Amino acid sequence: MNRLLITLGLVLLVLGMAWSWVRRWPLFRLPGDLVIERPGFRFFLPITTMLLLSAAISILAWALRK
């Protein structure tokens, strides 16, 4: 568990330091991400992005267990 927390902390640190480059990635603009815009209202549901991030985290957790 300690190794997982340290790894997660380092990943978050690197992403935070590289945020200007990370925000240019096409995440949150993928096909399947729902955006409903009306005057004074915006609804955003990143379905595809959530599935990809979930798969990536699952693979990372599986790799760290071995």
Interval 21-65: pLDDT, tens: 877 877 778 898 899 999 999 999 989 989 998 999 899 888 888
What local confidence, expressed as pLDDT, does residue 38 receive?
95
Cα separation of 54 and 52, whole Å? 5
Position 13 scores a pLDDT of 92
Interior/surface letters 21-54, b for 16+ CB within 10 angstroms, e for the rest: eeeeeeeeeeeeeeeeeeeeeeeeebebbeeeee
Q: What is the pLDDT of residue 23?
A: 75
Domain ranges in the chain are 25-66
Whether residue 12 has pLDDT greater than 80: yes
Q: Please name the amino acid found at residue 22.
A: V
> What's this model's pTM, rounded to 2 decimal places?
0.59
Report pLDDT for 54.
93
